[in-house]
Amino acid sequence: PFLGPCEFVTELLSSLRHPNYPTSNAGIEMLLKASTSEWRKVLYQSVGAPPDASNIEIAPVLNLALGRPNNQFGILVGADDAEDYLIEFPSDPLDYEDGTCWLESRLRHKDNDTLLAVLGWSLRRRSKDDAWLVHSIDWQDFRESFRPGIGREEWERICG
């Protein structure tokens, strides 16, 4: 059976949190396989990879880039200096009934429930089997060391 949007995001974040289990770069390879071609292109560009490179070639480079010290995205790959988190979905996914979906996930500190980051996920169904794929991720970081974010205003300053 196919995963719903929340289950898909939970499984993907779980795989990313342990990117080298069960094999080296397996979590990153899962992210690349679970991405639309448009999102995969963004990921490739983020590490300066040519568009004709393979996922297997890019996975170790992306894994190193995400896990480098003092990187806000290190939380996703369980970097040594990253906080341990719990995933929360504050609302139901918004399924547009056209093969696309949007949902929000929140990463909260495992020990003290502090809001660490909010991720807005745009998902698309894969045409051959209707499985969800990542089409884009909007990232908003609430940790002091990463505020206000690159080119962003804080949501709480705007909305609250």
- Going from the first residue of the chain to its last (160 residues), give the mean pLDDT of each consecutive group of 10, the final group possibly shorter: 92 95 95 97 95 96 94 93 96 97 97 95 95 95 77 46
Nearest to 119 by CA among 85, 79, 81: 85
Q: Would the pTM of this model clear 0.75, i.e. be above it?
A: yes
What 8-state DSSP symbol labels residue 56?
H
- Rama region for 26: left / alpha / beta (φ>0; ψ in -120 to 50; rest): alpha
Contact between residue 132 and residue 5 where contact means Cβ atoms under 8 Å apart: yes
pLDDT at 155: 45
pLDDT at 2: 83
pLDDT at 157: 43
Which residues neighbour 139 within 8 Å (Cβ) at sequence distance 6 or greater? 72, 73, 117, 118, 119, 149
pLDDT at 148: 59
pLDDT at 62: 96
Alpha-helical segments (H) within 3-154: 5-17, 26-33, 37-46, 55-67
C-alpha to C-alpha distance for 123 and 131, rounded to whole angstroms: 10
C-alpha to C-alpha distance for 60 and 70, rounded to whole angstroms: 19
pLDDT at 43: 95
Q: For residue 80, give the H/E element and its range.
A: none
